[in-house]
Structure 1
Amino acid sequence: MRRGLNINQFQDWQCGQDYELVKLLGTGSYGQVASAVHKPTGKKVAIKKMDNIFDDEVDCKRILREITLLRRLRHPYVVELFDIIEPADVDKFDTLYVVLELAESDLKKVIKSAIHLQLKHIQLVVYNLFCAVRYLHSANVLHRDLKPANILVNEDCSVKICDFGLARSIAGVEQASLIIGSSKRFGKNEENSMRTDENHEEVTLKGTEPARLHHQDQTVEELKKEEEEKGADTTPTSQMTEAQKRQEMTKRLLKTKDQRKNIKRELTGHVVTRWYRAPELILLEKEYGPAIDVWSVGCIFAELLGMMKESAPTYLDRRPLFPGKSCFPLSPDHDSKSVDNRHGFPISTNDQLAVIFLVIGTPNEEDKSFVTDQKALDYLNAFPNREKVDLCTIYPGAGEEAIDLLHKILVFNPYFRISLDDCLEHPFFKSMRKPDKEQKATEGVHFDWEKETMDIPKLRQHFLEEIMYFKKLREKGAQ
């Protein structure tokens, strides 16, 4: 141990001979994180200690999911998993030590600090973040909990997405986007008709590979890719106005409402920290996709713009864009005294959707066309009309390009929300794009055990497989 270190805080840590613990960095529901040095190489690392990992099956599978994802993901802006320390007793261990890449800080700490950011710093951080998220989506992975605390950051504005406990591989999950995507799926063309197996585990188009996540969610910007599938009497998408594209997508959403409503729910809705949670998650839509992470990045983007001196004179004046204090129906405000007389829903000015509508305005019928549940529609109709706010008034120093991008991200209907590819192609990032940063995954991530109900011995075996993977790497490196 290093001189001056409080030894007592690490007295129950068992990290073996290769690591020297330096400083306790944080404690939370997940466990503890400490900085350390890998003695054979002198490399600075972070060690995440998780106790009693087998006490709860849901939490245990989250930990397993995180380490198996991180072992497979390789991108400069995704935190790297270096090692999983082998336990002394492989048959009875219940504590896990995961060795991760160490970063200087995270965006939550940066936002709470007294420093101000310039627009060029924000551009670089958000661009790097979009590159990382695009890589995840190309690997069929949704992060599902993007927020400032889960974005590690270094002084050079490089980011490291971390905390994949709520992330999911979406490979094999039935996607409403495939139902919506092709006009030939309504009896006009059997060759490309949609095929779904009896267990709803995989949806493909005949003659194609299983759909990859990065092109499963179709936005209005991507309608142009379907021109070859349209009849000769159809107006080419390239000649459509933005309003016409939205109308076309609205027709598809309304036409497929019953099909989408009957999708077997395979992804939980209670994900993403409230302030960064997309409307489709709040409304408990059965199907959601990459657009939820795009929304979360937009909320982070807005918070970073709030760090400009023109936006907030001091760090004490900063605030998240959507600081809701409740989220009906997942976590309603039980103290709300006001009730909508038509539908009986509690109305709170601090409700997450109410806070969102104060900024982006109350959705119109076109905006609500993706919603499949009638109760959710009744809930939306209970909100008073609000006009969209010009974000220039909130972030006066951001400039036209930043505000234009933010407006296109913070869109209520996920099918109208800008795609990740279009985010990267936006003029706001024109001066800093680099092909090596925008790499996609070479293969998707899928877990055979994701839908299994596993007992402790089975879970322990999966952990041991991951631990032994790193043990073999160390042995191979020592040869």
Structure 2
Amino acid sequence: MFLYSAAVNSDTHEQVAIKKIGNAFDNIVDAKRTLREIKLLRHMDHQNIIAIKDIIRPPKKDAFNDVYIVYDLMDTNLHHIIHSDQPLCEEHCQYFLYQLLRGLKYVHSVNVLHRDLKPSNLLVNTNCDLKIGDFGLARTTSETDFMTEYVVTRWYRAPELLLNCSEYTSAIDVWSVGCIFGEIMTREPLFPGKDYVHQLRLITEVWF
């Protein structure tokens, strides 16, 4: 279970967000995702990628059950903005897309596939600055043995994943970006499939 809280660094007086991962080691899959996200983000440094500020160590190692990760503090996410009453002009849409592509170019340049791009994983502040977050499903391109098709929320999933292709490239992230951009422009999901068959039908209707 994830819980987020805003806090202030008592030394720097900087506002931060603290993510609590409760009972982080009870489930091996969730534990691996947490470790993967920490390892990847500790090696990334980009204006449009969420940054890990610190990891709070437990008072006692033998009582290490919960993980506390300190991130940049952001005000909301793109999903909340899209489905709110806040007006979005063309400049807003262009700026969000520019930052998303800029951050994704960096992610791909360090040989990482995000694999779960969606509006709720794109964090935004009051200045409309955007940062890509949630790298729990990310993989490096060298991890070919772990490339599964069951990734990415269905509405943002590329056709090759819907067709159970086990070998794919960074193009799957670019497909997700296109779906997100369409949702920003129309304020409705582009391909809101009820299941994977319906999802494919919606996509083929647009193509053909």
TM over 0.5: yes
Aligned ranges 1:255-274 → 2 under 5 Å: 266-274=146-154
1:303 Cα deviation from its structure 2 partner:
0.7
Check if 1:356 corresponds to 2:203: yes
* Residue of structure 1 equivalent to 2:17: 46
* Residue of structure 1 equivalent to 2:194: 325
In 2: Cα distance, 1:40 partner to 1:172 partner: 39
Residue number among 80, 95, 99 corresponding to 1:128 in the alignment: 99
Aligned ranges 1:177-216 → 2 under 5 Å: none
Q: Secondary structure at the match of 2:190?
A: coil
How many equivalent pairs are there? 208
Check if 1:137 corresponds to 2:108: yes
Aligned ranges 1:88-237 → 2 under 5 Å: 88-171=59-142, 173=144
CA RMSD of aligned residues (A): 1.2
Aligned ranges 1:332-411 → 2 under 5 Å: 351-361=198-208
In 2: Cα distance, 1:289 partner to 1:121 partner: 29
Q: Secondary structure at the match of 2:196?
A: coil
In 1: Cα distance, 2:143 partner to 2:206 partner: 36
**CA deviation profile, 1:379-419 (whole Å, cap 9, x unmatched):** xxxxxxxxxxxxxxxxxxxxxxxxxxxxxxxxxxxxxxxxx
1:31 Cα deviation from its structure 2 partner:
1.3
**CA deviation profile, 1:240-276 (whole Å, cap 9, x unmatched):** xxxxxxxxxxxxxxxxxxxxxxxxx530110000100
TM-score by length of 1: 0.42
In 1: Cα distance, 2:196 partner to 2:25 partner: 30
Highest CA radius of gyration, 1 or 2? 1
Letter in 2 for 1:151: L
* Residue of structure 2 equivalent to 1:240: none
In 2: Cα distance, 1:321 partner to 1:48 partner: 30
Relative to its length, the structure with more strand (as a share) is: 2
Farther-moved stretch of structure 1 (147-156 vs 136-145):
147-156
In 2: Cα distance, 1:89 partner to 1:75 partner: 33
Q: Secondary structure at the match of 2:61?
A: coil
In 1: Cα distance, 2:42 partner to 2:191 partner: 34
In 2: Cα distance, 1:117 partner to 1:357 partner: 29
Residue number among 279, 292, 296 corresponding to 2:176 in the alignment: 296
* Residue of structure 2 equivalent to 1:282: 162
User: Structure 1's 355 and 172: CA in aligned 2 closer, same or farther, altered over 3 A?
Assistant: closer
Q: Secondary structure at the match of 2:146?
A: coil
In 2: Cα distance, 1:170 partner to 1:89 partner: 36
In 1: Cα distance, 2:28 partner to 2:184 partner: 37
In 1: Cα distance, 2:28 partner to 2:190 partner: 35
Q: Secondary structure at the match of 1:91?
A: helix
**CA deviation profile, 1:301-321 (whole Å, cap 9, x unmatched):** 001111xxxxxxxxxxx4201
1:162 Cα deviation from its structure 2 partner:
0.5
In 2: Cα distance, 1:116 partner to 1:276 partner: 24
1:172 Cα deviation from its structure 2 partner:
5.5
1:58 Cα deviation from its structure 2 partner:
1.3
In 2: Cα distance, 1:36 partner to 1:267 partner: 37
In 2: Cα distance, 1:285 partner to 1:42 partner: 48
* Residue of structure 2 equivalent to 1:69: 40
Q: Secondary structure at the match of 1:59?
A: helix
TM-score by length of 2: 0.96
Q: Secondary structure at the match of 1:82?
A: strand
Letter in 2 for 1:42: H
Q: Structure 1: which 5+ runs fail to align?
A: 1-29, 174-264, 307-317, 329-350, 362-479
Letter in 2 for 1:93: F
In 2: Cα distance, 1:292 partner to 1:36 partner: 35
In 2: Cα distance, 1:281 partner to 1:94 partner: 35
Percent of residue pairs identical: 50
In 2: Cα distance, 1:113 partner to 1:86 partner: 37
Q: Secondary structure at the match of 2:123?
A: strand
In 1: Cα distance, 2:141 partner to 2:24 partner: 24
In 2: Cα distance, 1:273 partner to 1:126 partner: 19
Letter in 2 for 1:268: T
